[in-house]
Amino acid sequence: MLKNKIDALLYQVEKPSRYIGDEINSVNKKITEETIRYGFCFPDVYEVGMSHLGSHILYGVLNNIDDVFCERVYSPWGDFEEILRREGLPLFTMETKSDIKEMDILNFTLQYELSYTNILNILDMSSIPLRSKDRGEEDPIIMAGGPCAYNPEPIAEIIDFFSIGEGEEVMIEIMDLMREKKAHKWTKDEFLSRVAKVEGIYVPKFYQVTYNEDDTIASFGPISQEYPAFIQKRIIEDMNTAYYPSEFIVPYTDIVHDRAMVEIFRGCTRGCRFCQAGMIYRPIREKSKEVIVETAKKIIEKTGYEELSLTSLSTLDHTDIKDTIFKLIEEQSKDKVGVSLPSLRLDDLAIDVLHEIQKIRKTGLTFAPEAGSQRLRDVINKGVTEEDLEKTLSQIFNSGWKRVKLYFMMGLPTETFEDLDGINDLGNKATYLYKQVPAEIRKGAVSVTLSTACFVPKAFTPFQWFEQNSIETFREKQFYLKDKITNKKVKFNYHDAKTSMLEGVFARGDRRLNEVLITAFEMGCKFDGWAEYFDYDKWLAAFEKHGIKFETYTRGRAYDEILPWDFIDVGVRKDFLIREYEKSIKAEVTPDCRGNCVGCGINIDLIGRDC
Partner 1 sequence: MIILRLKYKKEQNMKFLSHLELIKTVERIFRRMQLPMVFSQGFSPKPKINYAAPLPVGVSSECDYLDVELTEKIDIKELIETQGPYMPKGLTFVEGKYFDKTKSLMSIVTDSAYLVEIETQVAYEKAQVEDLVSKFLGMETIEYQKLNKKKKLKTIDIKPLIQAVDLLAVQDKKIIFKVLVTTGSNGNLKPEKLMELFIEKMAVDAVPMKEQYKRLSLYARDKNNKLIDLFEV
Residue closer to partner 1, measured from CB, 134 or 254: 254
253 in contact with partner 1 (CB under 8 A) = yes
Residue closer to partner 1, measured from CB, 361 or 555: 361
One-character DSSP codes across 2-54: HHHHHHHHGGGSSSGGGT----BT-------TT-EEEEEEESS-HHHHTT-HH
* Nearest one of 275, 291, 278, 373 to 317, comparing CA atoms: 278
Dist CA 385 CA 382 (whole Å): 9
Select the residue interacting with partner 1 from 2, 9, 10, 177 (CB under 8 A).
10
489 in contact with partner 1 (CB under 8 A) = no
Dist CA 129 CA 132 (whole Å): 7
306 in contact with partner 1 (CB under 8 A) = yes
Dist CA 558 CA 564 (whole Å): 13
Select the residue interacting with partner 1 from 1, 4, 11, 183 (CB under 8 A).
11
* Nearest one of 560, 563, 460, 556 to 220, comparing CA atoms: 563
Select the residue interacting with partner 1 from 131, 197, 355, 362 (CB under 8 A).
362
Size of the site for partner 1 (CB under 8 A): 28
361 in contact with partner 1 (CB under 8 A) = yes
Select the residue interacting with partner 1 from 55, 109, 118, 303 (CB under 8 A).
303
338 in contact with partner 1 (CB under 8 A) = yes
One-letter identity of residue 462: P
Stretch that binds partner 1, among 355-363, 462-470, 493-501, 519-527 (CB under 8 A): 355-363
Dist CA 13 CA 20 (whole Å): 12
Dist CA 340 CA 351 (whole Å): 14
Q: Is 410 helix (H, G, I), strand (E, B) or coil?
A: strand
- Beta strands per DSSP E along 134-283: 141-145, 161-163, 201-202, 207-211, 217-222, 231-232, 260-263, 265-266
472 in contact with partner 1 (CB under 8 A) = no
Dist CA 386 CA 346 (whole Å): 10
Compute CA distances 135 → 25, 129, 189, 458, whole Å: 34, 6, 12, 31
Residue closer to partner 1, measured from CB, 360 or 587: 360
Residue closer to partner 1, measured from CB, 124 or 258: 258
What is the sign, positive or negative, of the torsion defined by CA atoms of 324, 329, 330, 332? positive
257 in contact with partner 1 (CB under 8 A) = no
Peptide bond just before 283 cis, omega within 30 deg: yes
| Shortest spacing between CB 88 and partner 1, in angstroms | 23
Residue closer to partner 1, measured from CB, 360 or 611: 360
Site residues for partner 1, 104-133, by CB under 8 A, read none
Select the residue interacting with partner 1 from 2, 5, 7, 583 (CB under 8 A).
7
| Shortest spacing between CB 258 and partner 1, in angstroms | 8
330 in contact with partner 1 (CB under 8 A) = no
Select the residue interacting with partner 1 from 24, 218, 445, 597 (CB under 8 A).
24
One-letter identity of residue 347: D
336 in contact with partner 1 (CB under 8 A) = yes
Residue closer to partner 1, measured from CB, 258 or 425: 258
What is the distance of C-alpha 72 from the center of its chain? 18
| Shortest spacing between CB 12 and partner 1, in angstroms | 9
213 in contact with partner 1 (CB under 8 A) = no
Strand 260-263, strand 141-145: pairing = unpaired
399 in contact with partner 1 (CB under 8 A) = no
* DSSP class of 139: S
| Residue/partner pairs of 62-65 with CB below 8 Å, 24 or more apart | 62/38, 62/171, 62/175, 63/27, 63/29, 64/243, 65/36, 65/172, 65/175
Site string for partner 1, 263-302 (x = CB under 8 A): -------------------------------------xxx
| Shortest spacing between CB 346 and partner 1, in angstroms | 23
| Shortest spacing between CB 483 and partner 1, in angstroms | 38
Dist CA 148 CA 611 (whole Å): 25
Select the residue interacting with partner 1 from 1, 4, 22, 472 (CB under 8 A).
22
Report the first-to-last Cα separation within the chain, whole angstroms: 54
79 in contact with partner 1 (CB under 8 A) = no
Site residues for partner 1, 572-611, by CB under 8 A, read none
Select the residue interacting with partner 1 from 20, 453, 471, 611 (CB under 8 A).
20
Dist CA 590 CA 379 (whole Å): 10
Select the residue interacting with partner 1 from 202, 305, 460, 539 (CB under 8 A).
305
17 in contact with partner 1 (CB under 8 A) = yes
Residue closer to partner 1, measured from CB, 253 or 603: 253
Site string for partner 1, 164-203 (x = CB under 8 A): ----------------------------------------
Q: Is 374 helix (H, G, I), strand (E, B) or coil?
A: helix
Dist CA 601 CA 264 (whole Å): 24
| Shortest spacing between CB 45 and partner 1, in angstroms | 16
Residue closer to partner 1, measured from CB, 193 or 253: 253
23 in contact with partner 1 (CB under 8 A) = yes
76 in contact with partner 1 (CB under 8 A) = no
| Shortest spacing between CB 340 and partner 1, in angstroms | 11
- Over the Cα atoms of the chain, what is R_g? 24
CB contact set of 472 (below 8 Å; sequence gap of 6+): none
358 in contact with partner 1 (CB under 8 A) = yes
* Nearest one of 58, 59, 74 to 17, comparing CA atoms: 74
Q: Give Dmax over CA atoms of the chain in angstroms.
A: 77
Count, residues in the chain: 611
| Shortest spacing between CB 590 and partner 1, in angstroms | 40
For residues 525 and 137, the answer to whether their CB atoms sit within 8 Å is: no
Stretch that binds partner 1, among 4-12, 234-242, 405-413, 429-437 (CB under 8 A): 4-12
Stretch that binds partner 1, among 14-22, 106-114, 464-472, 477-485 (CB under 8 A): 14-22
Supply φ then ψ for residue 175, to 5 degrees: -65, -35
Question: What are the residues binding partner 1 (CB under 8 A)?
Answer: 7, 10-11, 16-17, 20-24, 250, 252-254, 300-306, 335-336, 338, 358, 360-362
